[in-house]
Amino acid sequence: MKKVNYRDIQGSAPEGTKGVDFKQLIAKNVDAPQFYMRLFDIVPDGHTPRHSHEWEHEIFVVEGSGKVVLQDREEKLIKGDAVFVEPGELHQFVNDGEELFRLICVIPKPSSD
Amino acid sequence: MKKVNYRDIQGSAPEGTKGVDFKQLIAKNVDAPQFYMRLFDIVPDGHTPRHSHEWEHEIFVVEGSGKVVLQDREEKLIKGDAVFVEPGELHQFVNDGEELFRLICVIPKPSSD
């Protein structure tokens, strides 16, 4: 068993983000074999890139609210929502609220790791 | 993109649990291809089974506090902790606090699904 608290992890701001603090929680640091758990803290007016990729996302909204912007629509997200983004689907997470928007995001282990 | 809120999902009490409300968030319901996201709500004095299995767990503590009981030790868990349980490792999650202990738990897609 390995345990980390997000407060003890140094964050980063991935390319294409605005107002995002990104932390790898369960990844190469613990030799996770199949999927990685990450945390996104998005401040008001912040967002992740609007992009697509061949892997899925499994998201859980831990704090705050915001929206997910897709190819042809957007949907409101609130605390307690779980979101499945399909492989290849265009998506962006946006904090259009006034509080921190905190997401857990799980992806398959990257082939490069 | 598919979205569910845990409040809209019917929970269950898996075998060997006490005081647990278990919900599948992202699983067969959305044809998740590789890994499943579930939620455990554990009331004070409640617990999951003390068991082991060949797949890993990736856990995030969303609310409350508790502990994880392992083969030879136990460790306190607080909100914001991420926990990696290795394949084959004996483990049990226990709410020894006075508030709801809420966990997100991600596992590989079961071969039976």
Could you report the per-residue pLDDT of A14-48, keeping only the tens digit for each? Answer: 999 999 999 999 999 999 999 999 999 999 999 99
- pLDDT, residue A52, reads 97
Question: Of A33, A60, A89, which is closest to B1 when you measure between CB atoms?
Answer: A89
Q: Is the ipTM beyond the 0.90 threshold?
A: yes
- pLDDT, residue A64, reads 98
With an 8 Å Cβ cutoff, is A2 touching chain B?
yes
Rounded Cα–Cα distance for residues B16 and A91 (Å): 39
Residues 6+ apart with CB under 8 A from B112: none
- pLDDT, residue A74, reads 98
Region of poorest pLDDT, from A86-90, A109-113, B98-102: A109-113
- pLDDT, residue A32, reads 97
Q: Report the chain B residue with the minimal C-alpha distance to residue A36.
A: B58
Is B16-108 a domain of CATH 3.20.20.70?
A: no
Sorting pLDDT into bands at 50, 70 and 90, what band is A88? Answer: very high
Is A18-108 a domain of CATH 3.10.20.30?
A: no
Cβ-Cβ contacts under 8 Å, B35 against chain A: 34-35, 58, 106, 108
Count of A-B CB contacts under 8 Å: 110
The residue ranges of chain B whose pLDDT is under 50 are none
The pTM assigned to this predicted structure is 0.97
Please provide the average confidence, as pLDDT, over all residues in chain A. Answer: 97
Question: Of A3, A84, A89, which is closest to B81 when you measure between CB atoms?
Answer: A3
- pLDDT, residue A10, reads 96
Rounded Cα–Cα distance for residues A102 and A61 (Å): 6
- DSSP string for B56-87: -EEEEEEESEEEEEESS-EEEEETTEEEEEPT
Rounded Cα–Cα distance for residues A98 and A94 (Å): 12
| CB–CB contact A34 B34 (8 Å) | yes
Cβ-Cβ contacts under 8 Å, A4 against chain B: 81-82
- pLDDT, residue B42, reads 98
The type of residue at A74 is E
What is the residue extent of each domain of chain B? 16-108
